[in-house]
Chains A and B, each alone.
Chain A
Amino acid sequence: MSARLPNAFADLEPLCEYWLHDTEAARNRARISTDMPRIRAFYDAVMPRFDAIIQHLNGFPLGALPAAEENLLNLAFSFVEASAPVERFNSPIVTKTFPPERFIIHEDLGRSGGW
């Protein structure tokens, strides 16, 4: 497997297969399609590195991240998704009383036609 993350974060590489996505909808889908043990394992792996991840990414211009840093940012966005089940809900989903397939997360930002 080729490296997707910066060298300093190679230890997080195995997490990319499930958690690395470049859209909010895909990251949320990963969160709500799995169980708490997998979410907690992701959270526990990234939490001790979160500060270092931010410090590393702050060394690059936000609008022009190299590919590996862009991946690291997207993995960190997935960590934000995963932190909610761990720190707030103790469940991957927010509530069972509204089905996720009826809550549409659009990716057509700026040119939206999905009303």
Chain B
Amino acid sequence: MNAPQSPVRFPFSPRHAMKFGTPVPDMGSGPIPAESVTSPAYFEREREQIFKQAWLQVGRVEEIPNPGDYFTRELHVFKSNIVVVRGKDGAVRAFHNMCTHRGMALATESCGNTRGFTCEFHGWGFGLDGSLQAVPAIESFPDFDKSKLGLKALACDTWNGFIFVHWNPQPAQTLAEFMGQLAKDMDGFPFDKCQHIAHYTARVKANWKLCIDAFQEAYHATYLHRHAIPGAGDLELALPTSVRFYGPHRSVSCWLKTDIQPTPAEAIAYKHGHFGFVKADEGDSRGLNPSGDESWWFDINVFFPNFFCDLGRGWYFTYNFWPVSENDTIWNMNIYQVQADTAGDRLAQEFTRIVLRDTVYEDMSTMEYSQKAFDSGVITEQTIGDTEIAMRHQYWVADEWVNGRRP
């Protein structure tokens, strides 16, 4: 990271030497009104001004390796089910999963392989490229123009194997332009050498931004994760070592105690294997720790509005937060690890999976209480500290987008 260091504009003590790898935008410093997590009207504006204006991650290319492979996703925020399919030409495309005749779903399974999509309602047939190819009794439709009734497309593109879609079939920004420097910083990570080893979901009765907050600051780790992560009960662990802002996106590097002790069972596995959650050989560290922090543990990378891609040595994990309404969110987590060579490696990695899963399980316990508190009107604003600066950035960016500005 060669960007100039910004003057620290928050009153950190010298002991709290949090660094900024990029300039810090002027985001204000007051409490954050609860309205943005409770108001149905605000959520409707987010639906239009944020989710229909941003690139959204919906899957990985490994899910659809062969021509004709497809998966569907229920995207409540679009009020649409979409189908993502690999064409005969190898290209990945995304369509609204609805027949252009009378709206029947074309793919009724969550995934599969097909030569084309045939509607079960009246037999209209579509190619993998979305073109309308067959209409039974076509002569019964007056002035029929097949070329105008192809599947409704979303823009679709990939970055390092991650599939993104955009509501607008011809968005103003390409995916690369949208993801910007944060994606470039991460390009060196060996995503292609990793194996998908876990998939978790939960439906949480809380606003999507409250859900994201639970995962983008480490202040809570000191207390909430004092059982799941040994050594977390040290306030210093709560501090990010460095923070970077990239337009609407942000990246936070987390701190690790250098003398953290593995549990007795972990210690045995680490004797034989590499790449545990809190201990790993140097390995391939490209794309990690862009600020070069000495006590670095892992990077929380948040692509606005709802996709996390957190990187550590030998593993990465992703979150997607899919809003259903202003107080209802579907949380989705996937964990990936560098392919293990031996059972010892595999068992060391198993601690990564289980510790991570137990840790995020603890996170699940908090969000609905926050939502209830704000919904009650008893607590009218969120009071946040400087170590939670990623939250401030999220609410500031969301509000800017809702109001038609795009930092």
Contacts and interface: CB of A to CB of B under 8 A. Distances in A.
Interface of A: 24, 28, 43, 47, 50-51, 54-55, 57-58, 60, 62, 65, 73, 76-77, 79-81, 83-84, 87-89, 94-95, 97-98, 102-106, 108-115
Given A83-B263, A109-B199, 19 more contacts: A47-B265, A50-B265, A50-B268, A51-B271, A54-B268, A54-B269, A62-B345, A73-B343, A89-B227, A95-B362, A95-B365, A98-B361, A98-B365, A106-B199, A106-B201, A111-B63, A112-B63, A115-B320, A115-B330
Contact of B63 (A81, A104, A110): A110
Contacts of B249: none
B364 A57 contact: no
B138 interface: no
Chain B: interface size category: 35 or more
B152 interface: no
B202 interface: yes
Contacts of A50: 265, 268-269
Given A62-B340, A109-B199, A115-B332, A88 B361 contact: no
A15 B354 CA distance: 21
Contact of B227 (A47, A60, A88): A88
Nearest to A90: B227
20 contacts: A51-B271, A51-B272, A54-B272, A54-B344, A55-B272, A58-B342, A76-B343, A79-B265, A80-B265, A80-B269, A81-B354, A84-B355, A103-B202, A105-B357, A111-B63, A112-B199, A113-B110, A115-B74, A115-B320, A115-B332
Nearest to B361: A94
Interface in B10-42: none
B72 A113 contact: yes
B149 interface: no
Nearest to A94: B361
B351 interface: yes
A76 B347 CA distance: 8
A24 to B, nearest CB: 7
Contacts of A28: 357
B361 A62 contact: no
Contacts of A79: 265
Nearest to A59: B343
A104 B111 contact: no
Contact of A104 (B73, B200, B346): B200
